[in-house]
Structure 1
Amino acid sequence: MTLAPDTPDKLVRYSIEAEARYVREGLWRSPSIAEHLHSIAQEHGDRDAVVCGDIRLTFAELDRITDQRAAGLHRLGLSPGGAVLLQVHNTTNTVIAWYALLKAGLLPVCTLPLHRGHEIGEIARQTRPVAHLVAARDPRFDLVRFAFAQAAAAGVERTVLVSDGPADDPRAVELDRLGDDIDSAEARRVVEGIQAGLGMQSLAVFQLSGGTTGVPKVIPCLQAPYWHYGASLARALGWGPGDRIAFLMPIAHNAGIIIGLQGPHSVGATLVLGVPDASTALDLVVQNGATDVLLGPFLFDLAMDPGLAAATTLRRVLFSGKKVPHRHMAVLDAQGIWAGQIFGMSEGLCLTTPLDFPLEARAASVGVPISPADEIRLYEPGTEKEVAPGEVGELCARGPYTLCGYYDAAEHNRRAFTSDGLYRTGDLMAERTIAGVRCYTVEGRIKDMISRGGEKINTEEIELLLSSHDAVVEAALVAMPDARLGERACAFVVTRNGLEIDLAEVQAHFERLEVAKYKWPERIVVLPEMPRISQVGKVDRRRLRVIAETFGDEPS
C-alpha cells in the first residue's frame, strides 16, 4: 500500500512483541477488515447484512456492490493510502461507502455532518485528505458546496464524492453508481490486489478523539486491532447469525462502526439502521424484529415505553452515554429483556456488563473489559501510583485495540501515556464488588468535558472561542444537567468594561467561526468576576457547576 511519505513518522504502532503475542493468542487475525467482510459474505451470503427503511442487502449483495464501488474509486485515480473525509448520514449507501473505501485501500476519516470549517479545516490539515464524501442533500446545510469551499480555502485539489443522490454541482462524483459497469469478477481482482498490500498493522481508519484538548486529535485505527474491537464486543454480548442489532446513533462514528457495523458483521449478524430520532425508535425495533438495541441518552426512555411489549423478538438492551436510572433496567428485567451498559472510547478500551451479571451489578456498573488481553490500572491522577480496590482513580489502559499514540502528535503523546505505554483516559473509575461480581463503576472525569447526547464538547476549546469575542475577557464552560441529553453547555463569562452580551450574540459569534452547532453554549451567564480557588488562583469550576445545576432543564 502506498502511504503519504511522512506517514510512518506520524504513526505509532504496536511493538513487534505485542503483535506476536496478540497473533499467538488468536486475537489478531489476517486478512484485512475488508477481506473479513468478504469471508463472512461467503459463509452467510443469504443473510441480511443491513436493513434500512425499505432497503435490505444480504452479505453477498453488500460484498459484491462494495467490490464494484472500490474498483470504481481505484479507476477514478484515488490511490491506496489516501484519506477521505466523511460527512454522511445513516443510510444504506453510507454502509456501502464504508466498506468500499476500505476495499479501495482508502482511509475513512469519521467526521460528523454537523462539523463546520472550524473542525474540518483542522482535521484536514492533520490527515491531508484526497477526497471528501458528503451527503448530496442535507436540508440544514449545503455539504457539497461546503466541501468544495474547504478544498479551495486549503488551496488543494480534492475529489468531492456525493452519496444518496446526485449533486447540483457537476464537479462532484456520484459514489452510489461508481463501478456499476465493472464486471464483478474483475472488481474482485482489483480489490484482492489492493488488499494483498495490507498488513495487520496497516492504517485503516481515522477516528476523532472526544477527550483531548482543542479541536479533536486524530486516532489512527489499524486493520487487525480495529476488527478485533468489534469482534470482541460481539462475543461479549453473545451476538451471532440471526441476531438483528438496531442502531440509531450516527453510524460513521466509532460507536456506530463498532456496535452497529463491524461488531454485528463479524459474526454474521444484521445491522438494523435508523436515524437519530427518538420518535422513530420504537417502530424501528418492532417492525424490523430487532433482537438488540443500543440506547444513547436521548433514547433512554424507550425502555419505559409500554409499546415495547410489541417487540417480541427483543432480547437485549444496551445503554450508553450516561448513568442509567435503575428503574429503566428494572422495567426491562421484569419483561424478561436483558439490560446492560457499555462504556467505550474511540481510542480503544471498551467495557460492558456480561450477560450473566446480576441486575444490581448491571445497573450500577459498566462491567468489565471486552477482550481478555485488555489491561486496566487505576492511578492517582497525574501519577503512576495505583489506588487501592474500591478507591477512585484515573482509568489507564492498553490492549489489542487501544491506540499506542495519536496521529502526528508526539508532544501530546508524551502527556497522554504512562511511562510504560498505558493510555491515560482522563476518566475516573473505581473497581468494586457488587452483588458478588467484580466490576468497574464510572466516577467522573479529570478532563473538563461535557457529554451532550453522547457527543463530547471540550471545554478548553469552547472557552478559547468565547474569549476570541471582543467583549469577553474570560470564559469558563461547565455542564448543566439535561434530562434528555444528559448534559448541556453553560458558559460563564466576564466582559470587558462591563459590556453586555447575550446568548444570541454568542451563538452568532460561533456561527461566524464555523463551529459545529452541538458545541454552541446553550446558556450564557455574565459575571462581574470569576470565582477562584484562592490558594492557586484557578477558576473554581466546582462552584460554577453548582450554579449550573440549578438551571437544569430551564429555558435559557
Structure 2
Amino acid sequence: MDTTRRRRMGQIGPSHRIPGVVYQSQERLQRYVDVGVLTDETLVSAFRRAVGRFSTRTALSEINWQCTYAELDALTDRAASAFLRLGLVPLDRVLFQLPNSKELVIAFLGCLKAGLIPICTLAAHRQAEIGYLGRHAGARAHIVSAAEKRFDFIAFAEEMRQSIPSLDLTIAIKGDANLLRDGVHSFERLIEAEDGAEARRRVDAISHDPYQVALFQLSGGTTDIPKIIPRFHNEYLYTLRTFMEFYGFDETIVAYSGLQWIHNSSMLCCWGPAIFFGGEAVVGGSLEADDVGPLFDRRKPNWLLAPPVLLFRLKESGWIDRLDLSKVKAFATGGGVQQLKALLNGAETVPMFGMTEGLIAQGHPSDPIEAKYHTVGRPISPHDELKIFIPGTEVEAADGEVGELAIRGPSVTAGYFDAEERNKVAFTSDGFYKSGDLMRIRTIEGQRYLVFEGRIKDVVSRGGEKINCEEVERAAADHPAIKAIAVVAMPDAVYQERACAFVVPATGQSVTVADLGSFLEKKGLAKFKWPERIEFVAEFPVTAAGKLSKPKLREMIKDILKQEKASASDARARIA
C-alpha cells in the first residue's frame, strides 16, 4: 500500500517495521504531519526534484573534476542498479568506510536509490568498531577505498567478511586491477558495466517509504562503541530543508566541509543541503594547505565547515591572505569563533553545535557578537523542544542555570537501534533524549541561545570525533606496564580537546605514548582514540565518597599545561 493511500486511511508511519528500530509514535508523527513538518517526500524524490530543476548546474566537484545534476543522477542510477545486480535487496545494510571523495557521494546516493541503508562508519575505524557495528546491524556489504597507501582496506575488509556472518560483499573504490582480490568488486567497473536506461528502469521499480530508515548514523560513542542511530527519509529531509531556510540559502550555495563527509554534521549542514537543493558540493580528500588552497581558489565555496587545524594551516601557508573571502557567507566552527574570525581576516564566522541524535544548533551571521562568541548558537528547528534538567534527575533547572540538556523533536531519535537497555537510560518516559551535555540557556536581545558548560558523559571531543574514555581505559588496562588508567580531555588550541591518560604504573614499569598507541592498535581501536599524552601519578584523586574524580584530573592537566606554557614564555623571554 502506497504512502498516500495509507495516509487517507489514517495510517501514518512505515509500511514495514525493521526489527530493532524505534519509530516515532503515531501520535507524534501525526502532530508533525499536521503542521507540515513531515511530508511524503523521500530523500530520493527530493534529489530527483533537484535534478529536474537544475539539471545543467554543477552538483558535485573536485579540483579537477565536476559533474552536473543530470550526470550525477545517471551515475547514481547506475550505482544503484549495480548494487541490486550484486544481489543486495532494499533494507539491506551497507558499511561505508570511505574518505571524503566524489565516490562516497555517488555510492551513498546509489544506496538510497536502491533502498539500501548506509551504515556511516569512519575510515579511521578498525576491528573493534567495524566488527561490532557490522554484526549488530547485520551488514551485507562493505564499501572501502583501495587507494589508501597507509592501510590495506582490502585485506581489512576480507578480515571483516570472515568475522561478520552476514557480510557477503566487498566493494572497492579506486581499485587498481592488480590490487583487487577474489570476492572484491570494483565500484568503477560495476558502474561502467551498467546500461543507463536499464539502470533507470530498475531504480524506478524500487519503492521508497518516507517514514522508513534512510541511513544508520552513529552516536559519539558516549557509552562504549558507538550506538547506531536510525535516521528516516522525511525527517532527515526536514532538517536539510530547515537548514536552508535558517540561513536563507538557495541553489547558489557552494558548500565545502573539511570534516568527515559521512558525519551527520557534514551531511545535514554542508554537502547534503547543497546536493538536495540545487547547490554545489565541493569535495577535497586532503587537509593539507597546498591541496585545499587551490581547491578554494578554483571552486570558490561560500559556505564552509572548516576544522581549526585546516584554517591554521591555510593561514601559516599564506593561503588565507591570498584568497578572496568577500563572497563567503560564513565559516562554521565548533569552537573558538572569535579567534578564528581574526585568523580569517574578519570573514564571517559562526558557531555550530549538534548531536547525531537530532539537535542542530547554529549561529547566524545576523546574531549579536555576544551570541557568536559566547554561545554555541540556537536550534535551527522551531519544533525542537528543549529542557534543562538538574543533573541526575528529570527535574527542570531554573531558567539560566546549568543542567543536562534534553531534547525532543521531529528529527530527534526515538531510540538507538536494538539497544533496549541503553534506551531505558537515555530517554525520559515522555520521549526526551538526555544528551549528557551540560548546558544553560542564555537570552540575548530576546533570543534564547545555548551555552555549553561541559559534559556529564565521559567523552573527549577531538576535533569533533568523540572518544569514549571508558572504552580506551578498558582496552589499555591490559597493558602490562599499567596498574590503573584514567583518560580525560585536555584543552587544545587546534582540536579543542585531546585525550590525556593519567597512569598509575605497575611496579618498576613505564609506558610511552607510542607504546600505548601500538598496544591499542593491536586491540583494534581507531587511531584518533589513542591518548596523546601520559601523566604518571602514584594514585588518583578521589571524591568525598572515595571514588575516582575525573573533574580533578581535568583540572590537574589544565594546570600542568598552563605551567608549561608559562615556562616556555619565560624561556623565550630569556633568549630574546
Q: Is the 8 A contact 2:47 2:277 kept in 1?
A: no
Given candidates 122, 132, 140, the residue that maps to 1:130 is 140
Report how far residue 265 of structure 1 moved.
2.2
Q: Which runs of 5+ in 2 are unaligned?
A: 2-15, 566-576
The answer to whether 1:492 aligns with 2:505 is: no
Report how far residue 109 of structure 1 moved.
0.8
The answer to whether 1:185 aligns with 2:197 is: yes
Structure 1: distance between partners of 2:239 and 2:20:
22
Q: Is the 8 A contact 1:112 1:252 kept in 2?
A: yes
Moved more, 492-501 or 97-106: 492-501
Report the AA paired with residue 296 of structure 1. P
Given candidates 125, 142, 149, the residue that maps to 1:115 is 125
The answer to whether 1:396 aligns with 2:409 is: no
Q: Which runs of 5+ in 1 are unaligned?
A: none
Structure-1 residue corresponding to 2:558: 549
The answer to whether 1:72 aligns with 2:79 is: no
Post-superposition Cα deviations, 1:317-349, rounded to whole Å, max 9, x if no partner, equal 23333x3152433676x75x4321111111111
Report how far residue 159 of structure 1 moved.
0.2
Q: Is the 8 A contact 2:308 2:340 kept in 1?
A: no
Report how far residue 137 of structure 1 moved.
1.5
Q: How does 1:278-297 map to 2 (within 5 A)?
A: 278-279=288-289, 280-297=291-308
Given candidates 456, 463, 469, the residue that maps to 2:473 is 463
Given candidates 131, 144, 151, the residue that maps to 1:141 is 151
Moved more, 466-475 or 51-60: 466-475
For residue 201 of structure 2, give the secondary structure of its aligned residue in structure 1. helix
Structure 2: distance between partners of 1:302 and 1:258:
26
For residue 52 of structure 2, give the secondary structure of its aligned residue in structure 1. helix
Structure 1: distance between partners of 2:489 and 2:342:
28
Post-superposition Cα deviations, 1:195-241, rounded to whole Å, max 9, x if no partner, equal x2x32221111111104211111111111112222221122122211
Structure 1: distance between partners of 2:539 and 2:199:
65
Q: Is the 8 A contact 1:357 1:437 kept in 2?
A: no
Q: What's the TM-score once normalised by structure 1's chain length?
A: 0.93
Structure 1: distance between partners of 2:215 and 2:321:
36
Post-superposition Cα deviations, 1:282-329, rounded to whole Å, max 9, x if no partner, equal 3332321211111223235479667356325533223333x3152433
Q: 1:150 to 1:306 in 2, by over 3 A?
A: closer
Q: 1:408 to 1:383 in 2, by over 3 A?
A: same
The answer to whether 1:257 aligns with 2:267 is: yes
Structure-1 residue corresponding to 2:324: 311
Q: 1:487 to 1:465 in 2, by over 3 A?
A: same
Moved more, 465-474 or 424-433: 465-474
Report the AA paired with residue 417 of structure 2. Y
Q: 1:449 to 1:276 in 2, by over 3 A?
A: farther
Structure 2: distance between partners of 1:367 and 1:157:
41
Structure-1 residue corresponding to 2:99: 89
Report how far residue 142 of structure 1 moved.
0.3
For residue 546 of structure 1, give the secondary structure of its aligned residue in structure 2. helix
The root-mean-square deviation of aligned C-alpha atoms, in Å, is: 2.3
Report the AA paired with residue 457 of structure 2. K
The answer to whether 1:504 aligns with 2:501 is: no
Q: Is the 8 A contact 1:110 1:253 kept in 2?
A: yes
Structure 2: distance between partners of 1:424 and 1:325:
27
Q: Is the 8 A contact 2:240 2:273 kept in 1?
A: yes
Q: Is the 8 A contact 1:418 1:424 kept in 2?
A: yes
Q: 1:245 to 1:156 in 2, by over 3 A?
A: closer
Structure-2 residue corresponding to 1:326: 338
Q: 1:144 to 1:22 in 2, by over 3 A?
A: same
Report how far residue 434 of structure 1 moved.
2.6
Report how far residue 356 of structure 1 moved.
2.3
Q: Is the 8 A contact 1:295 1:317 kept in 2?
A: no
Structure-1 residue corresponding to 2:547: 538
